[in-house]
Structures are given as structure tokens and as C-alpha cells.
Amino acid sequence: MDDDLDQDGFVLAEDCDDNNPDINPDATEEPYNGIDDDCDPTTLDDDLDQDGFPLAEDCDDNNPNINPDVVEEPYNGIDDDCNPETLDDDLDQDGFPLANDCDDTDPEIFPSGDEIPYNGIDDDCNPATLDDDLDQDGFVLADDCDDNNSDINPNVVEEPYNGIDDDCDPATLDDDLDQDGYPLADDCDDNNSDINPDATEEPYNGIDDDCDPTTLDDDLDQDGFPLAEDCDDNNSDINPDATEEPYNGIDDDCDPATLDDDLDQDGYPLADDCDDNNSAINPDVTEEPYNGIDDDCDPATLDDDLDEDGFLFADDCDDTNAEINPDATDIPDNGIDEDCDGEDSVTSSVELSKTGIEIYPIPATDIINIKIEGQIDFQASIFDLDGRLIQTSVNESQLQVHNMPDGIFLLEIKDLKSGQRIVEKIVVVR
């Protein structure tokens, strides 16, 4: 035979290998055998996907998107770059594929990892494991000062004195609410800045200003009486149980009705009243002589020895005349007993006791009549029963008694020449 040596029905002009009957235009190209089985160069034997890489280098020669020059696309289950060392899954090599690993780029994040709170990362790939707002009170750590206690968050009302910032607001006071520098442990009223251990106790306000119970607020003198009942709460000797001590200028018993001065209520204190227990004795009273009392509280007003002759009324027969007293020399026949011996020295023998004297009426209302026999000079004097002289007259036969009070009086008739005298009782009535 001169042609179609392989007897495949194709001459050499059509048969690219006329020695092999399996190679001819009717044959099916068998890729990757290095033979042009169908004698058609356009029918590919290698690099079927025309990506520039033969099968020896191309892990998928049917897909031009898979070859050594392609960038591996992770998690598609394809070896895009035909390099088994280029990871398609479990990129962080933590042993967990993407299906189980919430971050396949970080080997510290995987299902069996430890959740680290507040890092914004689901470290253990479990959304149920809290990363923030651990106490589930609705506030993240950035807003919650204690994310482990749901009772502590910005919506809670601050509970003072528990040592906790309940509302997560340092400006809301937990202690020293009155801002006086003292916590409740040292401050007896933490709502009032004027009450604290540094304050000065203000007595009688019913408040423990200095938070010290030993600092007295009332009954400062400790006599058992508060100020409301004690007129001097700084002196324990002055209180309602004390006995009033007169004349000390102090209301000892706190009772204004208990007199401290002017005990006799005559309007004069003791300094001006010589007897503050007798209202009839004071500077406004008229001195009553011979009663042994300084009625007007004036020692210069005489009570006895009115004539200042050195003899008291008891020894002086005329205490109004300093010339008449027991030391005086009697002048005869002048009707005066100058030496108070009971009679006047006389040169005559007239005896008054033997002279007829009539005194009437008794009792008298307006006038006392005196009728004496003979001619003598006489002095008539009326005294009260205490020896006080009421009136006196000389040679008057009528004595006016209409201004005298009712009572019994003594009428003395005295012979002015001999000094002899008689005394009769008279009665005055109205």
C-alpha cells in the first residue's frame, strides 16, 4: 500500500499518524495522553480550561478559575490555587472549621475557648455566653458601675449609707449627705450641715448640735430643772426647789412671788427700810416717840429724850424741855419741877391736893371744864395712857376735846408756883 498504511480509512493527507489506526480524524481526542488523537490541533489534549496551566499543574483543568495563579477563596470547598497548603477552612488552625468557628481568623476564638468579658468578642463562639451586661440589668459595663449586680445600675434609686454606688452616679451621695465633712457614723444628723462634731452646741434648741450627748443642751447647771422651769440654768443653787434667801438680789426659788426684798411690802427695800418685816416701819412713817422703835428709819429723828438733855422719858418729867431733868436745879415757887423730883420747891404753904378742883363733864364730848377754888396759876395737860402729850394750856378753864378720839386720857393739873400736881382720868366720847 502506498497510503493509509494503518488502514484506518484516512490517507496520510488527512491522518496525522498513518501508522496508528487509533489516530485519525474520526477518533475521539483522549486528553492528557500527549497524542493528537483526532488529528485536530484545536481539540485540546491538555490545559482543557485554557487557563495557561497543564493538568500536571492544574488541579482542575476543566475550570479556568482554578489554577496556581488563582487566589484561594476560603470556605468554598475548592482548592482554588491548586495548593493544598493554602487553607480553605479553619484558617486560624484552631481545630474548628468556619461552620463551628465564629472567627476563623483568630485562633483564640473557638467554641471551647474562654469567654473574656468586655472585649467585644464572642471568644467561645456562644452568643449565650455574655460578653457585656453580665448582670442582665440592661446596662453595659460602660454605663454600669457593677456589671455583676443587677441591683446596681443607672436606673436604680441610690440607697444611702450602704457603701454602694447604687445608681452609678458619684454625684449622688451615699454618705455625708449634708456635705459637712462627716459621714453618718460620726454625724448625728446627716441631713443638716449645721449639725456635726465640729459645730458649737447651741443650748436650749432641743438639738444635739455637736453630736456629743455629754454636751448639755438644757439643764446646764445639772440641778434637775430645764430652762423652762429654771430661772438661772447656769447656777445649780438657783431652781424651784431652792429656798429663797432674802436680800441677795437673786430669785433663788425661781418664784417671783417669793419676796427677795421689801418683805413687808411697804415700798421700801431693805437698804432703805430699817425693819423690812414690819410695813408700819419705813421712811414714810411719822416717828412715834417713846415706843422704842425707829418708825421712820431715821436715827436722827428722836424716839426718846426728845429734849436731848441726856435723860429718857422714863426719868425726865418734861422731855420737851432740856432745862427740866433730874440733874437740873429746881427753882422755887415757879410751878415747875425742874429736877423731876415730883414737886416744885415752894416758899408758900399752898397745897394743891387740898384745893377744891372740879372737872366736868365726864365723859366729855367737846369741852372739859376746870373749876379751881381760889386764885392760882395752873397748867392743864392731857396725856394718852402711853404718856404722850395730847395738849396743854395755862390758866384755861375750858379744854377743847372735840378733835380728840374716843378713849380714856389723863388730865394733869399743875400748880405753876409750887409745882404740885394732881392727875385725873377723863373720858372722851362722840
pLDDT (0 to 100) of residue 353: 64
pLDDT 10s digits, 189-233: 999 999 999 999 999 999 999 999 999 999 999 999 999 999 999
Is the pLDDT at 43 greater than 60? The verdict is yes
Q: How far apart are CA 191 and CA 212, in angstroms?
A: 17
pLDDT (0 to 100) of residue 349: 38
Burial class (CB in 10 A: 0-12, 13-18, 19+), 411: buried
Q: Write down the mean pLDDT value for the chain.
A: 92
pTM of the model: 0.45
Residue with cell 500500500: 1
pLDDT band per the 50, 70, 90 thresholds, residue 1 = low
pLDDT (0 to 100) of residue 418: 85
Q: How far apart are CA 401 and CA 398, in angstroms?
A: 9
**Which cell numbers in the block locate residue 373?**
377754888
In this prediction, residues 59-74 reach a mean pLDDT of 94
The CA-atom distances, in angstroms, between 97 and each of 85, 105, 107, 113, 126 are 15, 11, 11, 14, 15
pLDDT band per the 50, 70, 90 thresholds, residue 356 = confident
- Answer yes or no: are the C-beta atoms of 11 and 21 closer than 8 Å: no
Is the pLDDT at 90 greater than 90? The verdict is no
- Domain 352-428 of CATH type 2.60.40.1220: yes
Residue with cell 482548592: 79
* Structural domain spans, the chain: 352-428
The CA-atom distances, in angstroms, between 353 and each of 68, 291, 326, 379, 421 are 188, 32, 23, 15, 8
Closest CA to 426 of 335, 343, 364, 341: 364
pLDDT 10s digits, 323-355: 999 998 877 767 788 889 877 655 433 456 677
Is the pLDDT at 429 greater than 60? The verdict is yes
